[in-house]
Amino acid sequence: MAGDARVLPAISEPLTIVTSLTAIFVAALILGLLLAVRAMLLGVERHRTPFGAPSPSRPSVRFSTPVLSAFATTFGVVGYLVTRPGRMGLAPGTIVALFAGAVAGAFAVRLVRRAAAFVPEHDPDDPRYVLQGHVATVTVPIGPAGEGEISYVVEGTRHTARARGLDGSTADQGIEVVIERIEDGVAYVEPWVEVEKRL
The pLDDT tens digits for 95-125 are 999 999 999 988 988 887 777 666 666 555 6
Please give the pLDDT value at position 19.
Answer: 80
Report pLDDT digits (tens) over 28-79.
Answer: 999 999 988 887 777 665 555 555 555 555 555 667 788 889 999 999 999 9
How far apart, in whole angstroms, are the C-alpha atoms of residue 185 and residue 26? 55
- Please give the single-letter amino acid code of residue 69: S
Considering its fold, how many domains does the chain have in total? 2
DSSP string, 105-142: HHHHHHHHHHHHHPPPSS-TT-GGGTTTT-EEEEEE-B
Judge whether 134 and 154 are in contact, CB under 8 Å: yes
| pLDDT average, residue stretch 166-193 | 87
The residue range of the domain holding 136 is 127-198
**25 and 45 fall within a common domain:** yes
What is the reported pTM?
0.49
How far apart, in whole angstroms, are the C-alpha atoms of residue 137 and residue 195? 14
Pairing of strands 148-154, 176-183: unpaired
Nearest of 41, 96, 44, 42 to residue 68 by alpha carbon:
44
Which of 117, 141, 161 is the last residue in one of the domains?
117
Q: Which residue has the higher pLDDT, 63 or 88?
A: 88
The answer as to whether 4 is a domain residue is no
